Structure 1
């Protein structure tokens, strides 16, 4: 009995370590080629359920390791009072599940819109493929914040970026950690801009593959989806 418990714990630890190592691999692949948000989902849904997502994280797990964890950290670490932190009677797991649903609301919305256009039922492979694709696109908005907050915690800094912007003229009075955080903030800006470009490309590719209309119409809906997701991501990492 004790040996089985140890073996189960060993497998769990090994699985968590592998998944954590797959986080940067998956993010790199998605940033390298935005079309993979859709292509990965299509390819994996064609496999047997036990064979899916072996070489990189599934969109659900990727969202948990990035956006959900970052949202929880921002809620507890940044000192900001979000409406989620005011909800009473919820455990950390329940809050994480609620944050996951909130963060991926646009993915569900976009999937339902395209599903209605394709006239298919919700409980289909098509819906899961679309949902996975749109969840993957959220990595482009969550990754910059993920890098920022992890770096800030490592450097012992706050997430009050506005205070740094308001006191840039006093930069000469800062210490080494402040300079390091300023460098991290610049990386955050660069990665954020790249992420926005990749997000636009990923959304356009998904719509192009599923929305058989004139290219101008596809671009109009791409910009619409982009603006909605960008506006929504402003409040939720």
Structure 2
């Protein structure tokens, strides 16, 4: 009995390690080609359930890991200016679940809209394919912020970006910058570049998903792409 328990624990740990290693691999693949947000989902949904998402992380698991990381980095340490930090009395698991639901809100809404257009039921492969595709697109808005937050944590020994920025503001008059501060400026520049690239990638990914599922005129597809893009950026901006 004890040996079976140890074996199960070993398999669980191995699975978690593999999935954590697949997080950067999946993000890299999605940044390489925006069409993969939709193509990956379609390709995997054609397989048997036990054979899906073996080479890279599924969008649900990717979102779960993202939610857990956010709950650790933002919920407990950031300032009161973030509305998520105002949630009191919740455990880290409850906070992570809340973030997971909020983070995927736009994905659900967009999927339902397209599902209504295609006149299909929610409990179909089409819905899961669309939902997975839209969840993947959140990578383009979240990745730059993760780079900034994690870099600030290692360089400035804090996960509170605002406090680190306040620290840099106080150094403006004296000009007495430490080497870590200059490194942070370089990281912040990389963050800006990554954010711009992420926005471009997000627009392309949304356009491809809509083009594959929306049989109207190209201008209509472009209009809804822009609409979905603005909604997702507005929502992500308020969320972060």
Q: TM-score, normalised by structure 2?
A: 0.92
Give the Cα–Cα distance (whole angstroms) in 1 for the partners of residues 88 and 27 of structure 2: 34
Quick check: 75-84 or 102-111, which moved more? 75-84
The residue aligned with 1:56 is 56
Give the Cα–Cα distance (whole angstroms) in 1 for the partners of residues 94 and 201 of structure 2: 31
The CA deviation at 1:87 is 3.4
Q: Tell me which of the two structures has the higher relative contact order, counting C-alpha pairs closer than 8 angstroms and 6 or more residues apart.
A: 1
Counterpart secondary structure, 2:161: coil
The residue aligned with 2:161 is 159
The residue aligned with 2:186 is 183
The residue aligned with 1:16 is 16
Give the Cα–Cα distance (whole angstroms) in 1 for the partners of residues 19 and 12 of structure 2: 11
The CA deviation at 1:152 is 1.3
Give the Cα–Cα distance (whole angstroms) in 2 for the partners of residues 214 and 168 of structure 1: 55
CA contact (8 A) 1:66 1:143 kept: no
1:210 equivalent in alignment to 2:200: no
The CA deviation at 1:162 is 4.8
CA contact (8 A) 1:67 1:146 kept: no
Quick check: 68-77 or 6-15, which moved more? 68-77
Q: How does 1:136-147 map to 2 (within 5 A)?
A: 136-147=136-147
> What are the superposed Cα offsets for residues 40-81 of structure 1, whole Å, 9 maximum, x if unpaired?
000000101100000000001111222552254112122335
CA contact (8 A) 2:31 2:140 kept: yes
The CA deviation at 1:84 is 3.7
The residue aligned with 2:44 is 44
Count residues with an aligned counterpart. 237
Give the Cα–Cα distance (whole angstroms) in 1 for the partners of residues 194 and 174 of structure 2: 23
- Where in structure 2 are there 5+ consecutive unaligned residues? none
Quick check: 118-127 or 178-187, which moved more? 178-187
The residue aligned with 2:5 is 5
Q: How does 1:1-237 map to 2 (within 5 A)?
A: 1-80=1-80, 82-155=82-155, 156-157=157-158, 158-160=160-162, 162-163=165-166, 166=169, 169=172, 172-237=175-240
CA contact (8 A) 2:67 2:96 kept: no
CA contact (8 A) 1:42 1:129 kept: yes
Give the Cα–Cα distance (whole angstroms) in 2 for the partners of residues 170 and 127 of structure 1: 56
Distance 1:36 1:165, change over 3 A: farther
